[in-house]
């Protein structure tokens, strides 16, 4: 049977995730476009869906200077969240699920309606019924977290797991909220909701545009991770990781072996 080039890339990334073994970045030796990168991402998500998973949200990436600088990529990207990636707030997460996990503090939204065309900043509150603090665990399937824009998009934007804190009533003004990440009660990263595009709601606007462009569904009830406000940090065994957003409480988990 003949496997397409797109499917072949997707299988390599899916295998890397399942075996917890990173692969060299593709773009060093092979060439594909950004459009093809999103096709690879869809094929990769399809592998998960064939295994019984469902799509439960999306994640935005590189919506802050801190993240763009840390990873050397400066274009916004969108990835997809599936059932096995969601962990309970306050629960344990085993390091053995990942290759080289990093945690990052995020703001998340819950969609109150399907979004089928680009929305404006003024529309945002009509499309969400909740907002809160979240943590994303990113785990690039590439060696040393080294990738190009196309590589990271193909790899579902490094997404591996996420935790969401208590859902709050949506507020029109989510600007200038202090954010911090703590490891074992010690602050390791500090930021502000303004670091996410000047206003995390702008990440939802960007998501509505990218989702339409790359045929990613935005459905009622889905989670939208707006992107990290600070650089991501490697996690180790036996750490209590806590990310909080001023007035929105926190998301947290404990890492185990
Ligand atoms: C890519 C994912 C970026 C964010 O919040 O900006 C991202 C990576 O850093 O490996 O999730
Ligand atoms: Mg993120």
Residues 6+ apart with CB under 8 A from 72: none
The first and second tokens of residue 143, run together, are: 């060696």
Residue ranges of the chain whose pLDDT lies below 50 = none
How far is 219 from 112, CA to CA, in rounded Å? 8
Number of the ligand closest to the Cα of 72: 1
* pLDDT at res. 1: 62
* pLDDT at res. 28: 87
Ligand 1 atom having least distance to the Cα of 227: 5
- Cβ–ligand 1 contact at 157 (below 6 Å): yes
Buried b (16+ CB within 10 A) or exposed e, 15-31: ebbeeeebbebbbeeee
Query: Ligand 2 centre and the CA of 104: distance in Å?
Result: 6
- Cβ–ligand 1 contact at 228 (below 6 Å): yes
Record the pTM.
0.98
* pLDDT at res. 2: 72
CA-proximal residue: ligand 1, atom 10 (nearest):
158
The closest of 222, 170, 220 to 200, measured between CA atoms, is 170
Local structure of 103: helix, strand or coil: strand
How far is 231 from 227, CA to CA, in rounded Å? 11
> How far, rounded to the nearest angstrom, does the alpha carbon of residue 19 sit from its chain's CA centroid?
21
Query: Ligand 2 centre and the CA of 1: distance in Å?
Result: 37
- Phi, psi values for residue 74, rounded to 5°: -125, 25
CA-proximal residue: ligand 1, atom 9 (nearest):
71
The one-character DSSP state at 183 is: E
């Amino acid at each position: 049977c003949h496997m397409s080039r797109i499917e072949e890339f997707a299988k390599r990334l899916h295998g890397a995730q399942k075996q917890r073994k990173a692969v060299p970045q593709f773009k060093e030796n092979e060439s594909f476009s950004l459009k093809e990168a999103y096709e690879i991402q869809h094929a990769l998500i399809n592998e998960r869906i064939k295994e019984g998973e469902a799509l439960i949200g999306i994640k935005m990436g590189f919506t802050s200077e801190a993240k763009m600088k840390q990873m050397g990529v400066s274009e916004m990207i969108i990835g997809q969240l599936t059932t096995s990636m969601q962990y309970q707030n306050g629960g344990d997460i085993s390091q053995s699920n990942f290759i080289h996990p990093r945690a990052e503090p995020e703001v998340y939204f819950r969609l109150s309606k399907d979004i089928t065309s680009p929305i404006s900043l003024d529309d945002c509150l009509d499309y969400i019924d909740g907002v809160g603090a979240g943590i994303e665990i990113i785990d690039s399937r590439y060696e040393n977290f080294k990738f190009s824009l196309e590589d990271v998009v193909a790899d579902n934007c490094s997404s591996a797991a996420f935790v969401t804190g208590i859902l709050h009533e949506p507020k029109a003004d989510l600007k200038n909220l202090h954010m911090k990440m703590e490891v074992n009660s010690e602050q390791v990263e500090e930021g502000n909701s303004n670091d996410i595009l000047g206003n995390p709601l702008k990440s939802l606007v960007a998501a509505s545009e990218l989702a339409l462009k790359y045929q990613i569904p935005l459905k009622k009830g889905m989670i939208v991770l707006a992107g990290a406000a600070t650089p991501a940090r490697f996690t180790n065994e036996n750490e209590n990781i806590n990310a909080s957003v001023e007035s929105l409480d926190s998301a947290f988990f404990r890492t185990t072996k």
